[in-house]
Structure 1
Amino acid sequence: MNFALIFFGLILLIILWFYIDFTLGRRKHLSLVRKSETPMIHGNFDIFPHGKELFADYFGELRKAKKHIHVLFYIVKTDAFSHEFLHILKEKAAEGIEVRMLLDRIGSYQITKQIVLSLQEAGVRFSFSNTLKFPFLFYSSQVRNHRKISIIDGEIGYLGGFNVGKEYIDEDPKLSPWRDYHLKITGESVTFLQSEFLIDWREYAQEDLLGSSFYFPKLPKGDVRHQFIPTEANHLEASFINLIQKATTSITIGTPYFIPSNRLLQELILAARKGIRISVVVPYTADHMLVQEASFRYLRRLLKEGIQVFQYKNGFYHAKTIVIDDKICDIGTANFDKRSLFLNKEINCLIYDREFIGRLTDVLRRDILDSKPLTLADLSKPNLLRSLKESIAGAVSFFL
């Protein structure tokens, strides 16, 4: 009896600690962050929905670097493909090219001290971002740097959903082929990606390089009008709401995890009741425990309002996009979930170019053709295990 009381007392103390840690940590975080976005700028864009094509292009550009390479990823793994990536960075550093690498501490947990030392011995300047910090250990463990950006010579940028690991080039049987959207960017807008990397580098590597002209060559304007929106803490929700409120005819959302805030869900329902056509594309196969079950309560609400939901079946769908009226599209690193909305560091690109948006919508149409429409009947069939998972997922949906 005494043991049981002690055990439950300890559990309650841990829960209380988590609550206080998270509440105070979040309060401090919110007091420090400031909203930012670029003015309208112009660049040139390519879009890659397949990992093999993306990384063939990306690795080729890395090998051609003449001055500096700056890379920031959420996940880098330790499989053969990831080692090829790290080997390229080591080779370039050995050539005398400046290489800086910033990885999320928890997302890239497979990167060991030995791997870091081998990179540093080769001349790569390395730092982890978003490490656990006192006094808010639990809160800092939840706030991730989810950005995936690379800048080569200050002239070529990459931004999107792909990380570095074998699954991203279709070598994981369960999740292949991997479907994602990643941008290759040239023109004046690369300067902003460079700044964002160096801002994060200053925060985590404690080295301020923002004032150096070495990293900011004069770049020409491109053809595509756009703006970048870096977010953290609670800024993404307002950005997504603003997008949805601009819609007059249609909204298409592609996301691997559909776990919206209540405000976002209500905005989508309100748009549907105004007669705006809404389609949501999500995976048929989940890559993480409970994320799919967490989405079902929200997808039911959409289906009851006549919103179309498609489950992508030709592999795993990891793309992150919103298209409004074929006039504005959003592509970036942020998922349509509470973690991206309220915790992670993300960076998205809003594009206002009809020709590019036409290219993206062609990709989306193909993805919808490779999808199965989800129906309310599918989610209403009695299923005890699913119901149990949904209850658990609902309780922890903020952290999925």
Structure 2
Amino acid sequence: MNFALILIGFILLIILWLFIDFTLGRKKHLSLVRKIETPIIHGNFDIFPHGKELFADYFDELKKAEKHIHVLFYIVKADTFSHEFLHILKEKAAEGIEVRLLLDRIGSYRVTTQMVRSLREAGVRFAFSNTLKLPFLFYSSQVRNHRKISIIDGKIGYLGGFNIGKEYIDADQVLSPWRDYHLKITGESVTFLQSEFLIDWREYGQEDLLGTSRYFPKLAKGRVRHQFVPTEANHLEASFLNLIQKATTSIMIGSPYFIPSKKLLQELIQAARQGIEISIVVPYTADHMLVQEASFSYLRRLLKEGVQVYQYKNGFYHAKTIVIDDKVCDIGTANFDKRSLFLNKEINCLIYDREFIGRLTGVLRRDILDSRPLTLDDLNTPNFLRSCKEKIAGAISFFYKMKGFTRESLIGLVFSKNSATGVNEQ
């Protein structure tokens, strides 16, 4: 009996600590961030929906770099493909090219001390982003740098949903083929990507290089009108709301995780009731436990309003996009979920070019052809396993409201001792 009381008390103390840690940590985070977006700028864009084609192009551009390479990824793994990527960076550093690599501490937890030592010995400047910090260990475990950007010689930029690992080149049997959208960018807008990388590097690489002119060559305007919108804390929700409110005829959303905020859900319901055609593309196969079941309650409400929901079946769907009336589209690193909306560092691109949007909608419509419609009957037909998963997802909704509690977050707490004491765990 005494043991049971002690155990219950211990559990209650942990819950209280998590609540206080998260609440105070979020309050501090909100006090520090500021909203940023570029004015309308002009660049040139290619879009890559397949990993093999993207990385063939990306690796080729890395190998041709003449001055500097700056890379930020959420995930780099320790598999053969990841080692190929890291080998290219080490080779370029050995040639005398300046190489800086910034990886999210928890997303790239598979990157070992030995791997980091090898990079540094080859001359690569390396740092982990968003390490865990006192006094808010739990909150800092939830705030991830989810951006995936690369800048080569200050002239070529990459931005999108792909990370570095074998699944992204269709070498994972369960999640293959991998479907994603990634941009290759040239023109004046690359300057902004460069500055965003250097802002993150200043914080985690502990070098202030923003005033270094060699990183910012004079670049010509491109053809495509667009804006970049970097977000964190709570800024993304307002950006998505603004997009949806502009719709007059159609809204298309693609996201691997669909867990919208209350405001976004209500805005979508209102749009559907106004006769706006809404299509949502999500995966048929999930890559994380319970995340699909967590989306079903939202999708049920939208299906009742006549929204079309499609589950992509030709592999795993990881693309992140919103298209409004074929007039503006959003492509970037952010998912349509609460973690991206309220916590993560993300960066998205709003594009206003009809020709490019036509290319994107063509890709989206092909993805819809590779999908099955999700119906209310699918979600309401008795299914014991699905019902159990939905109930479990509901029971831990506390953590979903805290923008997701993931395996990576738990792993991050393992790293907390070194991170909290200021030791960069290589």
In structure 1, the partner of 2:404 is: 399
| Cα distance in 2, alignment partners of residues 124 and 43 from structure 1 | 29
Equivalent position amino acid for 2:123 in 1: G
User: What do the CA deviations read for 1:178-226 (whole angstroms, capped 9, x no partner)?
Assistant: 0000000000000000000000000111110000101000000000000
Instruction: Report the alpha carbon displacement of residue 393 of structure 1 after superposing the two structures with TM.
Output: 1.8
Aligned to 2:104: 104
Instruction: Write out per-residue CA displacement over residues 236-277 of structure 1, whole angstroms, 9 at most, x where no aligned residue.
Output: 000000000000000000000000000000000000001000
State the shift of 1:11 in Å.
0.3
Residue matched to 1:354 = 354
Q: Please, which runs of 5 or more residues in structure 2 have no aligned partner?
A: 406-426
> Structure 1 regions of 5+ residues with no counterpart?
none
Using the alignment, how far apart are the partners of 1:43 and 1:196 within structure 2? 17
Aligned-residue sequence identity (percent) comes to 85
Letter in 2 for 1:340: S
Shift of 1:392: 2.4
What is the CA-CA distance between 1:384 and the residue it aligns to?
Answer: 2.7
Which letter does structure 2 place at the counterpart of 1:13?
Answer: L
Whole-angstrom CA distance in 1 between matches of 2:393 and 2:125: 39
Counterpart in 1 of 2:313? 313
Per-residue CA deviation, residues 9-34 of structure 1 (Å, 9 max, x unaligned), is 10000000000000000000000000
One-letter code aligned to 2:111? I
What residue is the counterpart of 1:116 in the other structure? Answer: 116
Cα distance in 1 for partners of 2:393, 2:187 equals: 43
Amino acid at match of 1:139: Y
Is 2:51 the counterpart of 1:51?
Answer: yes
* 1:17-166 map, 5 Å: 17-166=17-166
1:85 Cα offset (Å):
0.1
Amino acid at match of 2:245: Q
Q: Which residue of 2 aligns with 1:337?
A: 337
1:231 is aligned to 231
TM-score (norm 2): 0.93
Structure 2 equivalent of residue 10 of structure 1: 10
CA RMSD of aligned residues (A): 0.6
Paired residue secondary structure (1:184):
strand
CA distance in 2: counterparts of 1:136 and 1:383, whole angstroms:
40
User: Aligned to 2:282, what secondary structure does the other structure show?
Assistant: strand
Aligned residue pairs total 400
Superposition deviation, residue 385 in structure 1: 2.5
Can you list the C-alpha shifts for 1:292-327, whole angstroms capped at 9, x where unaligned? 000000000010000000000000000000000000
User: How many Å apart are 1:382 and its aligned residue?
Assistant: 1.4
SS in 2 for 1:280: strand
Deviations 1:312-366 (A, max 9, x none): 0000000000000000000000000000001100000000000000000000010
Q: Distance in 1 between the 2:290 and 2:191 partners?
A: 39
Task: Please state if 1:211 is matched with 2:207.
Answer: no
What is the one-letter code of the residue matched to 1:137?
A: L
Alignment partner of 1:198 is 2:198: yes
Instruction: Provide the C-alpha distance between the structure 2 equivalents of 1:399 and 1:15, rounded to a whole number of angstroms.
Output: 15
User: Corresponding residue for 2:285?
Assistant: 285
Q: State the secondary structure of the residue aligned to 1:348.
A: strand
Aligned partner of 2:252 in structure 1 is 252
